[in-house]
Amino acid sequence: SLGRSLQLKQLIEGGGSVNIVTVDNITPLHDACMQGHPQCVRMLLDAGAQVDVRTIHGSTPLCHACASGSVESVRLLLDHGATVNPSLTALTASPLHEACIRGNPECVKLMISKGALLEAFDIHFGTPLHAACAKAHLDCALLLLNAGARVNAIKFHETALHHAARVGRTELIELLVEFGGDINVSDNLGRRPIDYTTPGSSAHLCLQYFENTPLSLQQLSRIALRTVLGTRALQVVTKLDISRRIIDYLCYT
């Protein structure tokens, strides 16, 4: 990475354009973000690289930084005014989607703190929660849910729970149900989450258990409260004049 930085420094000092593009409209900044080289990202931005330039597919450097998992690159871009919620195209996902698809929880956390839209809809993946569950990234899903993402948001009548069932991740299924995921919802094919599991598998047995065992009143109360509060849940709950134990329970900690 040091060698790349020195080479880039020489090119910039030699008059090389920091906004030169390839046939796919990929700039040096896109490339530095794809490769996860924050030193190069910093140099390019300081030299005047366009922070929100899009590739032919509509991806911004922030999309690539979130995909690569370079939190430092993401911070640099945001500090230089990168758009947190660029308009989506048929060919690209949002930066938050990219972080969820690749399983980069630190980037997910940072993007949420900067106001990334939790319900941004990508034509291929649906919401960021759909993406996190389709790729079986439990830590990303937890961050989204705790931030107030809608657990039963649909993509072609399909919820995140359908994805969790399809990938067979029991802990992901349990997490979604704990946050109010509907085990009985049907997709556009009339299939429930359990229908995407292999009979006898841990995922199948998990969903079967929830079918036969209703959530407790305590769990239902937590879901109801957090549903009403939405994205303000953590902020409001932590300020309530109640015992620390109850606050921890409401915050899933």
pLDDT in tens, 113-122: 999 999 999 8
Domain check: are 209 and 132 in the same one? yes
Whole-number pLDDT of residue 25? 87
Is 186 a domain residue? Answer: yes
Identify whether residues 66 and 12 lie together within a single domain.
yes
Q: Which two tokens stand for residue 185?
A: 């919802």
Q: Give the integer Cα–Cα distance in Å for 60 and 65.
A: 9
Same domain, 142 and 55: no
Q: Are 252 and 207 contained in the same domain?
A: no
Using CA atoms, how far residue 134 sits from 33, 127, 160, 206, in Å, is 24, 11, 7, 18
Q: Is the dihedral of CA 95, 96, 101, 105 positive or negative?
A: positive
Q: Is position 101 within any domain?
A: no
**Structural domain span for residue 238:** 218-253
CATH number at residue 134: 1.25.40.20
Same domain for 69 and 19: yes
Whether 98 maps to a domain, the answer reads no
Q: How confident is the model at residue 226 (pLDDT cuts 50, 70, 90)?
A: very high
Share of the chain above pLDDT 70, in %: 96
pLDDT at res. 116 = 98
CB 133 within 8 A of CB 125: no
The answer to whether residue 16 sits within a structural domain is yes
Only one residue has tokens 């900690």, namely 253
- Distances, alpha carbon 35 to alpha carbons 136, 142, 202, in Å: 24, 27, 38
Which pLDDT does position 30 carry in this prediction? 96
My answer on whether 197 and 228 are in the same domain is no
**Interval 89-127: pLDDT, tens:** 888 899 999 999 999 999 999 999 999 999 999 888 999
Residues 231 and 250 both lie in one domain: yes
Q: Are 177 and 209 found together in one domain?
A: yes
Closest listed residue to residue 110, CA positions, set 135, 145, 74: 74
Same-domain status, 205 and 121: yes
Please report the pLDDT score of residue 230 as a whole number.
Answer: 92
* Mean pLDDT, the chain, integer: 93
Q: How far apart are the first and last CA of the chain?
A: 38
pLDDT higher than threshold 80 for residue 1: no
Residue 95 within any structural domain of the chain: no
> Is there a contact between 179 and 164 (Cβ–Cβ < 8 Å)?
no
Task: Check whether residue 177 and residue 222 sit in a common domain.
Answer: no
Decide if 96 is inside a domain: no
Residue 45 sits in the same domain as residue 60: yes
Q: Specify the pLDDT at position 2.
A: 54
**Residue 175 is assigned to a structural domain of this protein:** yes
CA distance 248 to 133: 24
- Is residue 198 located within the same domain as residue 234? no
Per the structure, the count of domains in the chain is 3
Quick one: the chain helix, strand, coil %, rounded to 5? 55, 0, 45
